[in-house]
């Protein structure tokens, strides 16, 4: 990938990863390391902790997620994140936007886009 492609795809991923984190937390609460690991299971969505933590901080500041410490079965307590009621609503809205966008993008890209 060239630098320009890299920058553009990171821009593109930023918004998508935000939705991915909301989707993940919609299924249940998770701690920071767990969020990074579970996104890494999907190579297209994999993000570094350096991307994940600022994003979590921003989501928390905008009131979409909340955080609370919980005892861990192994090691020290962990900080868990969950969706707030606002976050649940935003997730539903964003998922709807995404579904519309996904179909439109598929149509727009058509057969021009290489799949690999």
Partner 1 sequence: MTDRAPIPPGDTPDAAAVIDEYFDRLRTAAAGHGTSIAPDDLAELRAHVDERLHATAHTAADATDALAELGTPEALAQAFADDATAGPQGPDGLVGRVLGMPYDVRPPTSDRLARRVWDPTNPKILVPKVLGLGWTVNFGALAVRTRLVRPDDEDDPFTSAGSRVVAATLAAPVAAAVALGALVAATWTTLPATVPTHWGLNGRPDGFGSPAAAVIAVGVIGVVPVLLAAAVHLRGRHPFARVAASAVSLGLTALAVSIYAQTLFTVRGGSGVWPTWAGVAAFVVLPFGLLVTVSRRGRAAEQRRDLSSSPSKGTAR
| From 12, 40, 44, 77, residue interacting with partner 1 (rule: CB under 8 A) | 77
Size of the site for partner 1 (CB under 8 A): 21
Query: Judged by CB under 8 A, does residue 38 bind partner 1?
Result: no
| From 2, 3, 5, 48, residue interacting with partner 1 (rule: CB under 8 A) | 48
> DSSP secondary structure string, 47-96?
--HHHHHHHHHHHHHTTSEEEEEE--SSSS-EEEEEE-HHHHHHHHHHHH
Query: Judged by CB under 8 A, does residue 44 bind partner 1?
Result: no
């Amino acid at each position: 990938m060239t630098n320009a492609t890299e920058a553009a795809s990171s821009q593109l991923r930023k918004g998508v990863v935000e939705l991915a984190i909301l989707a993940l937390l919609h299924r249940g609460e998770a701690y920071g390391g767990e969020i990074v690991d579970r996104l890494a299971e999907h190579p297209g969505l994999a993000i570094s902790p350096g991307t994940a933590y600022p994003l979590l901080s921003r989501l928390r500041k905008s009131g979409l997620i909340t955080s609370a410490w919980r005892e861990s079965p192994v090691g020290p307590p962990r900080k868990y994140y969950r969706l707030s009621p606002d976050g649940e609503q935003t997730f539903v809205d964003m998922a709807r936007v995404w579904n519309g966008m996904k179909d439109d993008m598929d149509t727009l890209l058509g057969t021009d886009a290489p799949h690999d």
